[in-house]
Chains A and B, each alone.
Chain A
Amino acid sequence: MSPQPLNRLQIAWRAANDITDGMLVNLGLGMPVAVADYVRPEMDVFIQSENGVIGVGPAAPPDQVDSDLVDAGSRRVTLRPGGSFVDSSWSFAMIRGGHIDVAILGAFEVASNGDLANWDMRLPNKGPLIGGAMDLAACARSVWVLMEHVTRQGAPRLLNRCTLPLTALHCVTRVYTDLAVIDVTADGMLVREMIDGLSAQDLRDRTEAPLNFAPDCRTLTAPAIALPDEPR
C-alpha cells in the first residue's frame, strides 16, 4: 500500500495533540485555524486573536452571529468561558511581550535554522500581507508551522535557506506536515514522526534541508477526518 499523507485537517489534529492545558495560543490564517476544533474540550486552552479577542470559541451558529464578535480573520465566532477583549495595543503587548505560549502559523518555506517565510509569495497582482505574522514569529515563546511538505509542483519547502521574503529569523521550533513532524533544533531538523510506508530516504528526497531522525522516531498517524469538500 502506498503511503497515505495526512490531509489539512489531520495535520491540524496532530498539532492540537501537542497543546497542553493552560496554554495561550495564537492561530494563524488558513490551516492553523482548524487546530481549535481538535483541542480537547476539558482543557483550559485560550486562543488569542490579534484583534484583541482572548478565548476565541467555535464559529458562531447562524442564529448567534454578531458582527462585532469576530476574530482577526473576520470569522464570526463565539467566546469561551473566561474570555475577554482588549484593544490592539494590549493585544500586541501580549504578543510582543512574550506572553503567547505558542503561535501556530502557516508557511511557504522554513529553513533548517528556523527561519520562516510566510507573508509574501511575490505573486503578481497581489499586495503584501504582513498582519501580525512578524510579531508572532519573532516574539511567541514557541512557533509551530503547519504546511504541506512540498509545493504543488513537488518542490521542497523545508530548505537550507528560504528564498521568499523572510518573516522572522530562527523562530520556528516545530513543523507539522502531511508527511512528518519535525523539530527545528540547534543541530538542524530532527524528524520525530513520519507516516507509515515512507522511508527515511523518501522523506529526504522531498526535503532540501538535511534531516536527522530521532532514535525513537514514531509513526505519524491521525484518525480519518474528511475535508468539507470531499465526499465522505
Chain B
Amino acid sequence: MSIDKRVNTAADAIADVRDGAVVLISGFGGAGFPNELIRALRDRAPKDMTLVVNSATHRYSLTHELLEAGLVRKMICTTARGRGKEPTAFERLWMAGKIELECIPQGTFTERIRAGGAGIPAFYTPVGLGTEIAQGKEMRRIKDRDYILEYALSGDLALIRADTADHYGNLSFRYAQMNFGPVMATAATLVVAEVRAVLDEPIPHDRVGLSGVYVDRVVEASK
C-alpha cells in the first residue's frame, strides 16, 4: 500500500511543528480532547503559538500545560472563564497582559474555521450585531437586515481526537466526540488525529465519520 498515515508516537506526529504555529485543537464539553498530542506539543515546545480552541481553560483539557509552559502568544476561543473562584492558568496570563485574547461567538468560531477549510475568504453573519464583537468590523445591509463581515480562519496544525482510525486516515467518532474535529481537519496544513485504536482493516465505508482525505497522520493513544 502506498498510503499509510499511521505514526508510532505522538511525539513523532508533531515533530515538525515550528515556532509561531497557529494550532487548532478539538474538544468540547469534556469530549474530544487530544490530550496526548497536546502533551507531546508541550514537550516539543514551539514558541509564540496561536491556539484556536473552544475553551481557553477547560478542566478536562491539557491546554493549560501549553499556557503554563509559556508557549502561547495568542488565544482564539469562545470561552476564557474558569469555573472556580481561583483564576485559571489562562486567566492569570491574561490579567498579567502576557497573552492576547480573541474571544468570539462559538458559531462564528466554527464558521470561520469551516470557511477556512472550504475556500471561502469571509462571510456575513448577524451574530454579534450591536455588541462589542461588531466593533471595527465591516457591516452590510442585505434585504432588511444588517450583517457583520467575519474572515476565514485556518492554521498550520490541527490536533483532533477520534475513536478509531485506519491507515488511510479515515476516522470514526463516538457520541459527542466529533465537535470541532471534522471542521478543524479541513482548515489546517497538517492534521494529526489521536485515536483510541488504529484498526488493521479499513473502517467500513458507511462508518467513516471523517474522510482520510482531511487527515495526515494518525496515532494511537497509549491509554
Contact = CB atoms under 8 A, between A and B. Distances in A.
B128 to A, nearest CB: 6
B60 A85 contact: no
B95 to A, nearest CB: 7
A132 B127 CA distance: 10
Contact of A96 (B59, B90, B127, B181): B127
A52 B176 contact: yes
A139 interface: yes
B78 interface: yes
Contacts of B87: 125-126
B101 A88 contact: no
B151 interface: no
Interface residues of A, number: 44
Interface stretch (A10-18, A164-172, A190-198): A164-172
B80 interface: yes
Contacts of B58: 74
Interface residues of B, number: 53
A55 to B, nearest CB: 12
Contact of A89 (B79, B82, B110): B110
Interface stretch (B9-17, B25-33, B43-51, B213-221): B25-33
Given A125-B91, A127-B56, A135 B127 contact: yes
A76 B176 CA distance: 11
Contacts of B132: 165-166
A176 B104 CA distance: 28
B60 A74 contact: yes
Contacts of A85: 173, 175-176, 178
Interface stretch (A62-70, A144-152, A177-185): A62-70
A127 B94 CA distance: 8
B107 A132 contact: yes
A46 to B, nearest CB: 15
A19 interface: no
B130 interface: yes
Contact of A127 (B81, B179, B183): B81
Given A87-B180, A130-B106, A135-B105, A96 B175 contact: no
A79 B59 CA distance: 23
B60, B81, B106, B133 — most chain A CB neighbours (10 Å): B106
A52 B57 CA distance: 20
Contacts of A25: none
B146 to A, nearest CB: 10
A58 interface: no
Contacts of A71: 29, 176
A210 interface: no
Interface string A29-65: 0000000000000000000011111000000000000
Given A87-B178, A88-B179, A134-B127, 13 more contacts: A52-B179, A53-B175, A66-B175, A74-B58, A87-B181, A88-B28, A88-B183, A128-B103, A131-B78, A134-B108, A134-B128, A135-B127, A138-B127
7 contacts: A74-B59, A87-B179, A89-B114, A125-B95, A134-B108, A139-B126, A165-B132
List the 9 shortest-distance A-B pairs measured between CB atoms, nearest first: A127-B80, A135-B107, A92-B107, A134-B105, A169-B130, A129-B81, A68-B175, A70-B29, A129-B79
Interface of A: 49-53, 66-74, 76, 79, 85-89, 91-92, 95-96, 115, 125-135, 138-139, 165-169
